């Protein structure tokens, strides 16, 4: 079953556009949504939450159209924004008491369980929480109202390695039962290598690829060779860097024909992102 189904999403701004964004998320999985800053991750997420109006396309959450069933679907969606604070001078207790009144499936017992698990103290103010704790608090709220889809926008940005690892383990635990699905935007690609099942890569408002993690990485090859060899493959490379020894470049696996001397390797997500973002610069 599809938890999230985005079809041909278009949104135009003066200096930026989302162009024909489409991808799907299966129930019970974690999807990493990657792209450099300004690639359109947050705009896509805002469209999923119906916070901005779409110029074209359709978004279905749990099989229902978000623009038509917004209020009903928001009961099923949990969110955590890594970089936005709400009512940060209020105590956790105060904020929870307000938030819970909006959810028909709110479960106090679950809430207590997660407060304990995440070591959250109710008398603390939001401003007193560390970045990681804030994300955990958002998760505790989302899980207590029985959210089926968690939308996390940069939840791990600004976290130390230990807090990041801890949060990623929590994400994996959450999807274990197959009930909860997570869409997780980040530009820290190493997070996804640890926990994502699917990767969707957005670049300049367009989806480059959305696939299972292994298949996603397998669609690219990182080539190493001499400057002479560069001339042979230059036209087919997505982008490349040269140094005194030769070149390193990214290519679509389908465009790559093995030739003697050129070493090919499977790139990691970060390398794919770096070389993809060099694409425009290369032609300037």
Partner 1 sequence: MYNLLLKELKLGVNPFFYILPLLTGALMLIPGWLYFLVILYFCFITVPNLFGGYKSQNDLMFTGMLPVAKKDIVKAKVALIVLLELLHIVIAVIYGLISVRLYPNLTYYFFAPSIGFWGLCLVMLAIFNLLFIAMYYKTAYKYGAASIVSITAATLFAGGAEWLGIQSPLVHDLFKGSGADSITTQLSILFACIAIFAIFTFLAYHIGYKRFLKVEI
DSSP state of 187: S
Judged by CB under 8 A, does residue 170 bind partner 1?
Answer: no
- DSSP E strands in 54-104: the ranges are 56-61, 64-65, 77-81
CB of 46 to partner 1, least distance (A): 7
Cβ–Cβ < 8 Å for 237, 267: no
Strand partners, 21: 9
Q: How many chain residues are in contact with partner 1, going by CB under 8 A?
A: 28
Judged by CB under 8 A, does residue 70 bind partner 1?
Answer: yes
DSSP state of 235: G
Stretch that binds partner 1, among 68-76, 157-165, 202-210, 226-234 (CB under 8 A): 68-76
User: Crossing angle for the helix pair 131-144 and 92-100, nearest 10 degrees?
Assistant: 30
Indicate which single residue of 3, 48, 95, 159 sits in contact with partner 1 (rule: CB under 8 A): 95
Positive/negative CA dihedral, 50, 5, 164, 276 = negative
String marking each residue 96-135 x if it binds partner 1 according to CB under 8 A: -xxx-xxx--------------------------------
Residues 171-230 that bind partner 1 (CB under 8 A): none
- C-alpha–C-alpha distance, residues 251 and 239, integer Å: 8
Residues 29-58 that bind partner 1 (CB under 8 A): 46, 49, 51-53
The residues of the shown chain that bind partner 1, judged by CB under 8 A, are: 46, 49, 51-53, 70-75, 79, 81, 84-90, 94-95, 97-99, 101-103
């Amino acid at each position: 079953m599809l938890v999230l189904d985005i079809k041909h999403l278009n949104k135009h701004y003066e200096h930026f556009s989302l162009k024909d964004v489409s991808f799907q998320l299966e129930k019970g999985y974690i999807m990493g949504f990657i792209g450099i800053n300004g690639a359109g991750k947050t705009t896509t997420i805002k469209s999923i939450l119906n916070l901005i109006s779409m110029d074209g396309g359709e978004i279905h959450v749990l099989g229902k159209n978000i623009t038509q069933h917004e209020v009903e679907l928001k009961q099923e969606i949990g969110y955590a924004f890594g970089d936005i604070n709400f009512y940060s001078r209020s105590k956790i207790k105060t904020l929870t008491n307000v938030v819970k009144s909006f959810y028909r499936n709110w479960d106090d017992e679950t809430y207590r369980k997660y407060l304990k698990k995440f070591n959250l103290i109710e008398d603390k103010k939001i401003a007193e929480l560390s970045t990681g704790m804030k994300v955990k608090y958002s998760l505790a709220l989302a899980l207590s109202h029985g959210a089926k889809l968690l939308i996390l926008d940069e939840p791990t940005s600004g976290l130390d390695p230990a807090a990041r690892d801890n949060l990623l383990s929590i994400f994996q635990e959450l999807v274990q039962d197959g009930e909860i699905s997570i869409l997780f935007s980040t530009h820290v690609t190493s997070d996804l290598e640890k926990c994502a099942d699917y990767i969707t890569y957005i670049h300049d408002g367009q989806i480059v690829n959305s696939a299972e993690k292994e298949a996603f990485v397998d669609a690219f090859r990182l080539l190493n060779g001499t400057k002479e060899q560069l001339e042979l493959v230059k036209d087919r490379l997505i982008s490349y860097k040269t140094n005194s020894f030769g070149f390193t470049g990214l290519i679509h696996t389908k465009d790559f024909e093995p030739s003697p001397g050129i070493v090919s390797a499977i790139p990691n997500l970060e390398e794919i992102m770096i070389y993809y973002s060099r694409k425009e610069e290369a032609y300037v």
